Structure 1
């Protein structure tokens, strides 16, 4: 294939055409509209055109919350020629009838702009089966581009027709990411692409188990949930962990008992891996994955995480069963650093000394919260702020330029800061009067998350609102309190996000001006990891769109950025720790234990 391919001319100002305004076609149109492109929706049915336009107009703004783009304009057409005029991309989503698709691509080859990319959403047919009426030159711009069911699933699979220009794939991968989809490329033609082939095997074996009376649907689904959903097991890593020699041995038994071919299982493993000493994680040669490959890119640097377990999911939960755990880059608990803590919540590490600072919430509503410090060299635990001074301290933030700790006090309805030794404790925000019942019960005034950005001169905090109530807000103020002003009436406080499901913890990437937060609220936008871009003054307008980076956590709480390695770590009360990419890499499960409930997280 040629490597001199260039993108369509002026594609950013040209429309995307979707052929077929049915359930999937209109959702594909919504994706591209949310990425900022005008969309031409073509369907011979007036009703489908009307319904497709209505769907995109009603939902594109929701899709765009993930892209941060201004939604494009959508038009509906009956005429194919009018619909594709000046388009840089055409995606056919017509009924799954091969002759109809053959005829469609024949017309597109003739009518579409010469630099226009032509894609089929078909999952039943390879695009190579649709080329009968396409010119030789036209074949190079055609590919499969199969969507699943957005917005529930934002995966799209790309596949060559055997003639497709190689340069189209990296270009389309980047465009897909701009539309908040997760692109995967099938390296060669394959009926069913990648996921459908995986699903076909699972479906086939599930039906066989049922037909043979080995199990029942409820047990199969429960096992799947425990092993793959909760446990986060993935096929290739599981085989590496089991050992490819063991996998081959097990498969040999199936081959013999069922009379199967060994060509693509046992023989493949033997020839490509086992004969070369590549047995999996137990081998220095690696296995399906390279040697020492782990989810965390920083394993070579003795990368370690520390995380707070609040203790309420333990075998014997109590108000003092919280702990601080050290976890390796590959998701193994190394040791417990501190035990018997009273509902630990926020955690930071001083990069200069390696000391750990954390908050203990105490009993909500009583002034028995505290801030403590652990010295990894001496193993000593020191009290920075003793009980009796603060109420329910939550997330911590550290400003190493001024040696200050910042933390939110939830039931105290305020934000504090102090020196690393606890002196000069000062209240810098007072959202309400905790002695006043009306204020104390107003969860919109509960301060939870905190982040500080010294270079931007700002600090940020969340006021979460009622549980999953859609009234959460994020505020910012200047690090320097305006002269003569009180914490309860500062004139420099700005609300930069409102109407959030239930925002919890925050962190700022000052270098790239991004504010990240976790949201514990209701789906589809709660239980998520989010971010918004800040201007050079550390602010953002209400019109600035947020990006939803990852979702479907289980009561998500803590986060820790690792910008250098394109990562953010996220915890949830379901006992899981995830690693998410900052530039498109989907979340992956690093650690899971249902007997734990994680809150704060930091990097050692």
Structure 2
């Protein structure tokens, strides 16, 4: 009977050894030091050893900003035997020559502790090619562990040598996350792992286009930027959107014209997807991605809205009487998803998993806000951005392609984003200094509403100003923080409209270039739903026939949340008076969808 694998004993107190203190080796060591582990470099070059230690000393603090750990120690050794004493993990980053790697693993088998995990950072060779001189028992502890170029790229890929104990992979995945890296496990041995195979295909086809004279480098790079960087397109999602039957038809034509095999393209799609009715997003059965839970109807029998009740109008109001409700779009069916929330304000749903994310403001000014995630299948609630990290998180927006959550922090005077699991939390706009009493109490610095437009390469947010003060503004900035600039000093921030009564929530229809927002300020322009057309650069489109913005409809009771349903020509709006409204995209046919006497609604989203 096969024995279960156990992690190395006392691994938290034992060192991580990096063989090679060169450009990549020292960065790998810095990652593990930032995760709180003691690191040892082994390199025969005194200069490399000194440079490796200097890199960790100079950079570990910046790495550790994203791990929250106390930095571990770093040492350097010339002797392999001394470096390996009591190691629990060894990562070789020696020159990419197979014989050197074979000999290195033979040394590791002989000198490293017998429970030590032995990893190769090689991207050129599979670790199975390095086993010639190692024992059978060592083969079960060897794998590939390939890093790219941290801190710019924090991806690490793990792959078996064909013998690796299965339990090693989830163990290392969790520890890699502690070091703020994003781990991926190749499910089979593959030369080039995952990303390098993608890159190899792109590289080959790019060179073929150039060699055949079809295009030039400048045009290729511009097309890539527009389609995949600004557009935030990803391969599998894009194929599902195009339709797998269409993808198969196109690939069939390529195969015939170029004399290519159809085994891994057309035949694969037909056998695994198309013949089973799985055509992509146009199919209820899904495609490469499983059918989205949020694209199906629920037990109500129709599409649904998820709405936040802040709780301050409850029969017995408190700072933790907020709730999250699910309601049908005809307003007839309601279900409570979560209760006892601390002033919930902004909400979004991941269309791939159906997880619901929302912000809890907490007590304004107490720095006890949070972001939570709710799984509707298991009914489990997880705090992904904990208390003590942010101040008063407000409206929330999801970039589903990059798997990022964007949200504003009102009293924190900032805009943040993080991954869907709460990792890599980063401040991307600093509108003021929250520790300065004058700046902190200046409502013109308060960030509230948020929208992301990947096709424009921008995000937008509101700074609402004092209550009904006509000092509200909407800003934009690039999704990518300009190199060398900070959230407080970034020079790409633009104020695209000002002198608004009190703008709150934002949403953009990227296909039409229309931005919508709610305003809870004074009439005639406040307590309204508004719209503005953006040009191709994401700025207001103003012509003789087009005003900078238009008020679509009014007469809300402190308008807060909004959600566009472009497909059905609808906008849903909430207000603090406890009402959910529906109107057309042009503001017409406004009606009350749902109203509750003891409710005060904030954020809203839909499947």
TM-score (norm 1): 0.57
Q: Is the 8 A contact 2:180 2:423 kept in 1?
A: no
Look up the match of 2:178: 178
2:14 aligned with 1:28: no
Aligned counterpart, 2:595: none
Q: Which residue of structure 1 lines up, in the alignment, with residue 58 of structure 2?
A: 58
Which residue is equivalent to 2:119?
119
Query: In the alignment, does 2:104 pair up with 1:196?
Result: no
Asked if residue 39 in structure 1 is aligned to residue 39 in structure 2, the reply is: yes
Q: How many Å separate the matches in 2 of 1:181 and 1:196? A: 17
Deviation at 1:351, TM superposition (A): 6.1
Native 8 Å contact 2:143 2:164 kept in 1: yes
Task: After TM superposition, give the deviation of residue 458 of structure 1 in Å.
Answer: 2.8
- In structure 1, what is the Cα distance between the partners aligned to 2:241 and 2:414? 35
Report the counterpart of residue 323 of structure 1 in structure 2.
none
1:509-557 superposed Cα distances (whole Å, 9 cap, x missing partner): xxx99997743269xxx9xxxxxxxxxxxxxxxxxxxxxxxxx985675
Instruction: Tell me the distance in 2 between the aligned counterparts of 1:514 and 1:263.
Output: 39
Stretches of structure 2 lacking an aligned partner (at least 5 in a row)? 315-327, 332-339, 346-358, 370-388, 393-411, 433-453, 464-473, 481-507, 518-559, 562-602
1:237 shift after superposition: 1.2
Confirm or deny: 8 A CA contact 1:237 1:289 kept in the other structure.
Answer: yes
Q: How far apart are the structure 2 equivalents of 1:267 and 1:105?
A: 40
User: Does the aligned pair in 1 maintain the 2:17–2:91 contact within 8 Å?
Assistant: yes
Match among 443, 461, 476 for residue 573 of structure 1: 476
**3-state DSSP class of the match of 1:159?**
strand
What do residues 353-407 of structure 1 show as CA deviations (whole Å, max 9, x unaligned)?
89xxxxxxxxxxxxxxxxxxxxx9999xxxxxxxxxxxxxxxxxxxx999999xx
Tell me the equivalent position of 2:495.
Answer: none
Q: Which residue does the alignment assign to 2:366?
A: 458
Change (3 A) 1:204 1:299: farther
**Structure 1's 574 and 255: CA in aligned 2 closer, same or farther, altered over 3 A?**
farther
In the other structure, the counterpart of 1:438 is none
Instruction: Return the alpha-carbon distance in structure 2 between the equivalents of residues 69 and 195 of structure 1.
Output: 29
Task: State how far apart, in whole Å, the 2-side matches of 1:62 and 1:290 are.
Answer: 38
Q: What residue in structure 1 maps to residue 429 of structure 2?
A: 520
Match runs of 1:100-119 below 5 Å: 100-119=100-119
Secondary structure at 2:118's aligned position in 1?
strand
Number of paired residues? 390
Give the C-alpha shift of residue 279 in structure 1: 1.4
Compared CA separation, residues 260 and 517, structure 1 to 2 (3 A): closer
Q: Supply the distance in 2 between the matched residues of 1:404 and 1:292 (Cα, whole angstroms).
A: 25
User: Match of 1:281, SS?
Assistant: coil
Question: For the Cα contact (< 8 Å) 1:16–1:90, is it kept in 2?
Answer: yes
Whether 2:414 is the aligned partner of 1:504: answer yes
Alignment of 1:208-223 (within 5 A): 208-223=208-223
The one-character-per-residue Cα deviations of 1:140-180 (angstroms, maximum 9, x if unpaired) are 00000000000000000000010000000000000000000
1:453 deviation in Å? 2.0
**Structure 2 counterparts to residues 258-277 of structure 1, below 5 A:** 258-277=258-277
The reply to whether residue 158 of structure 1 matches residue 158 of structure 2 is yes
- 2:84–2:112 contact (8 Å) kept in structure 1: yes
**Cα distance, 1:349–1:303 mapped onto 2, change above 3 Å:** same
User: How far apart are 1:193 and its partner, in Å?
Assistant: 0.2
Q: Secondary structure at the match of 1:40?
A: strand
Aligned-pair CA distance for 1:572: 8.6
SS at match of 2:140: helix
Q: For 2:154 and 2:295, locate their aligned partners in 1 and report how far apart those are by CA, in whole Å.
A: 22
CA-CA distance at 1:214 after TM superposition: 1.2
1: CA distance, partners of 2:343 / 2:142:
58
1:284: Cα distance to partner? 2.2
1: CA distance, partners of 2:207 / 2:478: 32
The alpha carbon displacement at 1:213 in A equals: 1.3
Per the TM alignment, residue 267 of structure 1 is displaced from its structure 2 partner at its CA by 1.0
Distance 1:42 1:244 in 2: 50
Name the counterpart of 1:370. none
Using the alignment, how far apart are the partners of 1:169 and 1:217 within structure 2? 40
In 2, the alpha carbon distance for the partners of 1:403 and 1:143 equals 47
Cα 1:592–1:32, aligned 2, differ >3 Å: closer, same or farther?
A: farther
- Aligned residues of 1:11 and 1:88 also touching (Cα < 8 A): yes
Render the CA deviation track for 1:181-220: whole Å, top value 9, x for unaligned.
0000100000000000000001111111111111111111
TM-score between both structures, scaled by the size of structure 2: 0.56
Give the superposition deviation at 1:238: 1.0
Taking the aligned partners of 1:118 and 1:49, their CA distance within structure 2 comes to 21
Q: Is the 8 A contact 1:574 1:597 kept in 2?
A: no
- Structure 1 CA distance for aligned equivalents of residues 110 and 8 of structure 2: 17
RMSD: 4.6
Are 1:14 and 1:86, in contact at CA under 8 Å, matched by a contact in 2? Answer: yes
Residues 454-493 of structure 1 mapped to structure 2, 5 A cutoff: 454=363, 458=366
- The answer (yes or no) to whether the contact 1:576–1:598 under 8 Å persists in 2 is no
Q: Unaligned stretches of 5+ in structure 1?
A: 307-347, 355-375, 380-399, 406-449, 462-473, 478-501, 527-551, 560-570, 578-589
- In the alignment, the residues of structure 1 paired with residue 460 and residue 274 of structure 2 have an alpha-carbon distance, to the nearest angstrom, of 41
Q: Distance in 2 between matches of 1:115 and 1:192?
A: 28
Find out whether 1:78 has 2:40 as its counterpart. Answer: no
Q: CA deviation at 1:573?
A: 2.8
Q: Deviations over 1:244-288 (max 9, x none)?
A: 111111101000101111111111111111122211122222211
What is the rounded CA distance, in whole Å, between the counterparts of 1:575 and 1:594 in structure 2? Answer: 20
Structure 1 CA distance for aligned equivalents of residues 230 and 422 of structure 2:
34
Contact 1:557/1:573 (CA < 8 Å) preserved in 2? Answer: yes
Residues 305, 603 of structure 1: 8 Å contact kept: yes
Contact 1:158 1:183 in 2 (8 A): yes
- Do 1:576 and 1:592's aligned partners in 2 also have CA atoms closer than 8 Å? no
